[in-house]
Chain A
Amino acid sequence: MDATALLMQLFTGLSLGMLYVLLALGLSIIFGLLTVVNFAHGAMFMWGAYAGVSVIALTGNFWIALIVAPLVIGGYGLIVERGLIRPLYGRDINYPLLLTFGLQFIMLEIVRIFYGTSDQPFKAPDLLSMPIEIFGTFAFPSYRLFVIAVTIIICIVLWVFLEKTNLGMIIRAGTRDPLMVRALGIDMGRIWWLVFGIGSALAGLGGILAAPIRSVFPEMGITMLVECFVVVVVGGMGSLSGAILSGIIMGEASAITTLFYPQMADIVIFLVMAVVLLIRPSGLFGRAGLLE
């Protein structure tokens, strides 16, 4: 076991963690504002990858797909919020969760009908298929570096949007006290709508970014969803910085365990979760008592 292998695995873990971050950010921003746990998030991730497959089949261009897929899934999220989730506001908090749970089966079957159950080939674009030397010591797949870079950019854009714009301010205020924001004459319904769309778009982006790394198949989102729940719970529900930190921790934990003891690779994130929750019951950055 030399340092190079370890360093390489750390980078692999970072790129996996970045996928977690993208999905967990979407889940967390939706939960923080709408208090909806989106069980269809994994299916949206999967649809993002399939949207990418379709756009590439049509245009042959990865870069167009990278832009179009998140927009399509974001638009789909807008429709879902307006049509299915909005009628459930004001009812028990479990109902949107159950609804999205049922929705994911529908989404899963639609993909099976149109694309079949087998894996779809999905290659990284030529530009990103060459390995890159890092620190002159080892060659690292450039596509994974690209994933890391895109996620960092998204995080920065999201941060600027939430912290520096008026709309972002309203969203932050809505997370704290939606009643007060409404009393100030702001239509929260439209904000919720928008935020659900943004969260879905992030899931779609995660899907197309993950496509060349993980294979594209209908069930790809099912396991991913649970992993992202773990990430969100550990980070603290509704906390964006918590989602980022915990996403990276989980990616690294999984990657390092793969190196030393591969049988534990799937289990380790749950153990990390158990430990974190025993020490800090509301997660790393969670507020105690939120929505209990």
Chain B
Amino acid sequence: MENQTWWRRLVTFISNYPLYFIFLFFIIFPFIVPYKALATQIIIWGLFALGFNICLGYTGMLSFGHAAYFGVGAYTTGVVLIRLWANIWFGLFAALFMGGILALVLGFLCIKRKGIYFAMLTLAFAQLVYFVAFQWVDLTGGDNGLRNIPAAPLNFFGLSINIYSPLNFYFFVLFFVFLSLLALNLILQSPFGHVLQAVRENDQRARSCGYETTNVRWLAFVISGAISGLAGGLYALYLHFVGIETLYWMTSGQVVMMTLLGGMGSFIGPFIGAGVFLYLEDVLSNITQSWMIFLGVIFVLCVLFFPAGIWGTIKGLSTRGKKELPASSAP
């Protein structure tokens, strides 16, 4: 019994103060994974899943086209660094901006439809983006991908910092993850954030309260696209390369899997999902070529038996048997 209490307390603490926990945990994180590049990969994908989660977890829109924003962010950073201006800040800002703009445009076409239509429409438009990038060889390199993205130096108030050692790059990415988390926290705690959740819970009721729910969902979609674009930009810096498969709809599927696996509607869930997914991929792909079959089985079982995801299930266990109301859906 004593044993149960401490982990319940821990879970309650984490779900009440997710930001503190994430900040503390991610600072020691690169030292507890097998190699540092894996940690970087996990937080980049975690950031992508976090952006996606604004759509699915907080607004209730299942998008199957987030590869478009991730991929366009990656290509934007790459192209900007190669051709325009080898400045990392500008490159990443451009990725954020382009992700948001693309979500604004495609969102306009999809947002009026809900549920399954929305999923299929976002998927179809993301495929459109994929084929455009595939054909636009001059800009994107087509099938070969965008190669030789320069390792632009990072200038920070006149200081030049080398970010290309694995550990430094991890903290560089973490900086952006923190910024995004703080920004999203502000957004979700604001009145707008509460409207988002109202839209997720009951669209009609939110509308009869006088909210223009279509615009609310559209704005959430744009924020989600912008964060995904930023994650894409970081991914391009991380690999010095953008492959065309970044835009393929399997990438969208991957982020859906991560978010579901981790648990949607929380800050922690997407990172847990990304971590478990990439760690399993890393371990399993060393053992067998057919590692996807295991991830597929885990995902199917998760949908069947643990629809709340890993974090949702842990939280559910920790509050089981208690009389109090379930923890509020605040992040």
Interface, chain A (partner B; CB < 8 A): 31, 35, 37, 84, 87-88, 91-95, 97-99, 101-106, 108-110, 112-113, 222, 226, 229-230, 232-233, 237, 263-264, 266-267, 270-271, 273-274, 277-278, 281, 291-292
From known contacts A109-B290, A266-B131, infer whether A292 and B114 are also in contact, taking CB-CB under 8 Å. Answer: yes
Which of B115, B257, B303 lies at the interface centre, i.e. has the most chain A CB atoms within 10 A of its CB?
Answer: B303
A237 to B127, Cβ gap below 8 A? no
B293 to A37, Cβ gap below 8 A? no
Question: Secondary structure at chain B's binding surface: helix, strand, loop or mixed?
Answer: helix
Selected A-B contacts with CB under 8 Å, 15 pairs: A94-B116, A97-B119, A99-B300, A99-B304, A103-B296, A104-B296, A105-B293, A226-B124, A226-B127, A230-B124, A266-B135, A270-B131, A278-B109, A281-B113, A292-B114
The 6 closest A-B pairs by CB, nearest first: A105-B296, A109-B293, A102-B299, A270-B128, A106-B296, A102-B300
B293 to A110, Cβ gap below 8 A? yes
**Chain B interface residue count: which class?**
35 or more
From known contacts A84-B300, A229-B123, A270-B124, infer whether A292 and B117 are also in contact, taking CB-CB under 8 Å. Answer: yes
Interface, chain B (partner A; CB < 8 A): 62, 109, 112-117, 119-121, 123-125, 127-128, 131-132, 134-135, 249-250, 253, 256-257, 260, 289-290, 292-293, 295-297, 299-300, 303-304, 307
Q: Which residues of A contact B62 (CB under 8 A)?
A: 94, 97
Instruction: Name A229's closest neighbour in chain B (CB-CB).
Output: B120
A267 to B119, Cβ gap below 8 A? no
The distance from the CB of A239 to the nearest CB of chain B, in whole angstroms, is 13
Question: Secondary structure at chain A's binding surface: helix, strand, loop or mixed?
Answer: helix
A88 to B304, Cβ gap below 8 A? yes
Which of A109, A266, A273, A291 meets B115, CB within 8 Å?
A291
The distance from the CB of A262 to the nearest CB of chain B, in whole angstroms, is 10
The distance from the CB of A260 to the nearest CB of chain B, in whole angstroms, is 15
From known contacts A103-B300, A112-B290, A226-B249, infer whether A281 and B112 are also in contact, taking CB-CB under 8 Å. Answer: yes
A37 to B116, Cβ gap below 8 A? yes
B303 to A99, Cβ gap below 8 A? yes
